[in-house]
A and B are shown apart, each in its own frame.
Chain A
Amino acid sequence: MAGIPAVPGGAGREEGAGRLVAVATIADEEQRAVAVSARGLVKSYGDIQAVRGIDLDVFSGETFGFLGPNGAGKSTTISMLCTLLTPSAGSAQVAGFDVVRQRDDVRRHIGLVFQDQTLDGYLSAQMNLRLHGELYGVPASVLPERTERILKMVGLWDRRKSKVNTFSGGMRRRLEIGRGLLHSPRVLFLDEPTVGLDPQTRASIWSYIQELKATEDITMFMTTHYMDEAEYCDRIAIMDDGRIIALETPEALKASVGKDRIRITTDDDAKAIGLLGERFGLEANMSEGEVTFSVEEGEHFVPRLFSELPVAIRSVSVARPTLDDVFMAYTGRTIRDAEASASDINKQMMARMGRRPR
């Protein structure tokens, strides 16, 4: 348990830290195995297109996030990649197998953690894992040992004999994630792994995911509509209205939005605003009682501010752009707005279905 916080802080952060990594990734593209790839993937229901042509490559060992509002087509896309839905057009390969023609091979090489619970609540944690192992053909000689390791990894070894019905939501999620890993999949698909969980449990699920990333040679493909969670991913695809509108590292996405927002309080705010314009060419204004302005690489600017601004500064805060800002920049609306309009579309769809077909 002591090792968990170290992992995400270590390797995970460095990978995502600079855009250099992204460049190196692209340069190494030839060598790096592609774990998931999709070309022109489409899913339509009647004349409604839920997914309108998706192209993507996820590399082996990567943690890839699908971010977008409810109804953007994330789950539909992930269902097609998991062979649960047949694409209307286009093609996709997972772990080197075609999702339509080699369905069983795909299933054998992927782990699935669904949005809804799929455990048998009347059986023990151990029995749930055994069932999974037997169905997936994990060799009987290694199954008990593997089950023990998984249960220890998700911290449920002590509760292995308890019925799953007695578990909390977080424990069930952990067990499901562990179960998804039991047959050593090459790609683990997580559809909204933390939806409906309290913040503390969400954090602990994420620390498990980060730990997994460090200890298992596995590609993770997940969907989320929590902006803060998307930042745990190596790369993110932002989805809106059935299309990928951006695909980048979280850092690069944020950098594409640009400036950090700095808020300061000083002894003489009016003078500070004037001086910021004169000396730094910055357009500052008062907002919620603080001097607010935007600048690139805010943390590098702050030391300059202290040394060069002849007004005493009482407090400083630097806010980096969030993925919420990114979504806003790409779509012109917030995730919440998008969800509201998606539910409007759903209502329209229902209304249309109620009428006679044209």
Chain B
Amino acid sequence: MTVTLEPPTPARPPASVAAVRVPNRTTGGELRAIKIVFYRELLRFLSDRIRIVTALVQPVLFLFVLGSGLGTLVNLGPGLSLRTFFYPGILGMSVLMTAMMAAASVVWDREYGFLREMLVAPVRRGSLVLGKCLGGAVIAGFEGLVVIAIAGLVQVPYSPTLMIEVFGIQLLLAFTICAFGMMMAARIQQMQSFMALNMLLIMPMYFLSGSMFPSRHLPTWLTVLNRIDPLTYAVDPLRRLVFDHLHVTAATRASLDAGVSWDGWHVPTLLEVGVVAVMGVFMLAVAIAAFSRSE
């Protein structure tokens, strides 16, 4: 009976599992969070081999089936096939598809509950979103590399500078698209809804971007839509880079690779890249704000 009179706590054996002191929030802690979320994205991607392949089906279909098929109808000039003309757009499209799928994974995470585990962690939501976007960008960049690797099949030379510059733009585009996807995913609860929205946005974005036609001399409504499409500002520099390495006449190049203009003013390449970067940062900020508000 004396036992019951003792206060219940002290008779406890020493903790068998070493106690850990969790330190306060630090920049280091945030970096660690970004790193581990990034790492998880890569792990998930590498373990999902089907996704690696399926993400490439559509770009390849566009390039070879549509490119070869439509190529019989048009004559772009000596030494230039429609496939080659499509190629810069396909470099962008492969990234677009994969980056959107990477962003979509946050909707899966929400449906399967894992998002909750991340959201309740004592780290900034921004670190989680940034880690996810960087992870998605690298995954999409990897898919982009595959498309770079098939350059020879569409008569584009394997030049190291070309490949490096193209890859740089792909990475940047991938990041921006990921941020765009995350911005949408922040408000979407179900995968079906995201997929529907994805289909609704991806194809128009691709078609409007000037991937399949030069963005000069379009009807006004199409010009307006073309100029507000973020993909336009990635496809145009990609095309310029590719055409720099092709042997085509100046006239052909002038009609097919005319560049993007704002009200008659020719937008320089660096500014185009800047537009993609600024859009990416802006959409990332919107995504972070949206995730910070929820729960």
Check B263 for interface membership: any CB of A closer than 8 A.
no
Smallest CB separation, B111 vs chain A (Å): 11
Chain B contact residues (Cβ within 8 angstroms of A): what range? Answer: 35 or more
Check B200 for interface membership: any CB of A closer than 8 A.
no
CB of A24 within 8 A of CB of B7, answer: yes
Q: How far is the CA of A146 from the CA of B21 in the complex (A)?
A: 12
Smallest CB separation, B42 vs chain A (Å): 12
Q: How far is the CA of A118 from the CA of B121 in the complex (A)?
A: 12
Check A162 for interface membership: any CB of B closer than 8 A.
no
Instruction: Given A112-B120, A145-B18, answer yes or no on A117-B113 (Cβ-Cβ < 8 Å).
Output: yes
CB-CB < 8 A to A24: which residues of B? 5-8
Check A123 for interface membership: any CB of B closer than 8 A.
yes
Which residue of chain B has the shortest Cβ distance to A31 in the bound complex?
Answer: B7
CB-CB < 8 A to A217: which residues of B? 12, 15, 19
CB-CB < 8 A to B19: which residues of A? 184, 217
CB-CB < 8 A to A137: which residues of B? 22-23, 25-26, 29, 32, 122-123
Which residue of chain A has the shortest Cβ distance to B124 in the bound complex?
Answer: A104
CB-CB < 8 A to A259: which residues of B? none
CB of A118 within 8 A of CB of B18, answer: no
Which residue of chain B has the shortest Cβ distance to A114 in the bound complex?
Answer: B116
Number of contacting residues on A, CB 8 A? 57
Q: How far is the CA of A273 from the CA of B130 in the complex (A)?
A: 77
Per the 8 Å Cβ criterion, residues 196-223 of A in contact with B are 214-217
Checking B11, B23, B43 against A11 with a beta-carbon cut-off of 8 angstroms, the contacting residue is B11
CB of B17 within 8 A of CB of A150, answer: yes
Which residue of chain A has the shortest Cβ distance to B47 in the bound complex?
Answer: A122
Check A138 for interface membership: any CB of B closer than 8 A.
yes
Check B3 for interface membership: any CB of A closer than 8 A.
yes
- Residue of B5, B24, B112, B117 ringed by the most chain A CB atoms within 10 A: B117
Check B160 for interface membership: any CB of A closer than 8 A.
no
Instruction: Given A215-B16, A217-B15, answer yes or no on A184-B36 (Cβ-Cβ < 8 Å).
Output: no
Check B99 for interface membership: any CB of A closer than 8 A.
no
Checking A114, A142, A214 against B113 with a beta-carbon cut-off of 8 angstroms, the contacting residue is A114
Per the 8 Å Cβ criterion, residues 133-161 of A in contact with B are 134-140, 142, 145-146, 149-150, 153
CB of B8 within 8 A of CB of A61, answer: yes
Q: Which of A12-20, A261-269, A322-330, A334-342 contacts B (4 or more CB under 8 A)?
A: A12-20
CB of A134 within 8 A of CB of B122, answer: no
CB of B113 within 8 A of CB of A215, answer: no
CB of A138 within 8 A of CB of B22, answer: yes
- Residue of A61, A116, A136, A142 ringed by the most chain B CB atoms within 10 A: A136
Instruction: Given A17-B4, A138-B22, answer yes or no on A123-B43 (Cβ-Cβ < 8 Å).
Output: yes
Which residue of chain A has the shortest Cβ distance to B6 in the bound complex?
Answer: A24
Check B187 for interface membership: any CB of A closer than 8 A.
no
Smallest CB separation, B5 vs chain A (Å): 6
CB of A146 within 8 A of CB of B120, answer: no
CB of A20 within 8 A of CB of B4, answer: yes
Which residue of chain B has the shortest Cβ distance to A211 in the bound complex?
Answer: B16
Interface string of B249-292 (1 = CB under 8 A from A): 00000000000000000000000000000000000000000000
CB of A134 within 8 A of CB of B20, answer: no
Check A308 for interface membership: any CB of B closer than 8 A.
no
CB-CB < 8 A to A105: which residues of B? 122
CB of A116 within 8 A of CB of B113, answer: yes
CB of B4 within 8 A of CB of A109, answer: no
Q: How far is the CA of A131 from the CA of B44 in the complex (A)?
A: 13
CB of B18 within 8 A of CB of A107, answer: no
CB-CB < 8 A to B118: which residues of A? 135
Q: How far is the CA of A61 from the CA of B13 in the complex (A)?
A: 13
Check B33 for interface membership: any CB of A closer than 8 A.
yes
CB of A132 within 8 A of CB of B117, answer: yes
CB-CB < 8 A to A117: which residues of B? 112-113
Check B245 for interface membership: any CB of A closer than 8 A.
no
CB-CB < 8 A to A116: which residues of B? 113, 116
- Residue of B17, B24, B35, B48 ringed by the most chain A CB atoms within 10 A: B17
CB of B36 within 8 A of CB of A104, answer: no
CB of B8 within 8 A of CB of A104, answer: no
CB-CB < 8 A to A130: which residues of B? 36
Smallest CB separation, A167 vs chain B (Å): 14
Checking A32, A122, A131, A181 against B17 with a beta-carbon cut-off of 8 angstroms, the contacting residue is A181
Q: How far is the CA of A112 from the CA of B32 in the complex (A)?
A: 21
Which residue of chain B has the shortest Cβ distance to A83 in the bound complex?
Answer: B120
CB of A119 within 8 A of CB of B18, answer: no
CB-CB < 8 A to B40: which residues of A? 120, 123, 127, 131
Instruction: Given A15-B8, A20-B4, answer yes or no on A135-B36 (Cβ-Cβ < 8 Å).
Output: yes
Check B213 for interface membership: any CB of A closer than 8 A.
no
- Residue of B4, B13, B295 ringed by the most chain A CB atoms within 10 A: B4
Report the 9 A-B pairs with minimum CB-CB distance, sorted nearest first: A134-B36, A135-B121, A118-B113, A118-B117, A15-B8, A184-B20, A107-B122, A108-B122, A137-B29
Instruction: Contacts A135-B121, A215-B15, A216-B17 known; list 10 others, CB within 8 Å.
Output: A11-B11, A14-B3, A24-B8, A32-B9, A120-B112, A135-B36, A137-B29, A142-B20, A146-B17, A215-B13
Q: What are 25 A-to-B residue pairs whose CB atoms are below 8 Å?
A: A20-B4, A24-B7, A24-B8, A61-B8, A61-B9, A119-B113, A119-B114, A120-B44, A122-B48, A134-B33, A134-B35, A135-B32, A135-B123, A137-B26, A138-B22, A139-B20, A142-B18, A142-B20, A146-B17, A149-B17, A150-B17, A181-B17, A184-B22, A216-B15, A216-B16
A contact set with B: CB distance below 8 Å:
11, 14-15, 17-18, 20-21, 24-25, 28, 32, 60-61, 82-84, 104-105, 107-109, 112, 114, 116-123, 127, 130-132, 134-140, 142, 145-146, 149-150, 153, 181-184, 214-217, 234
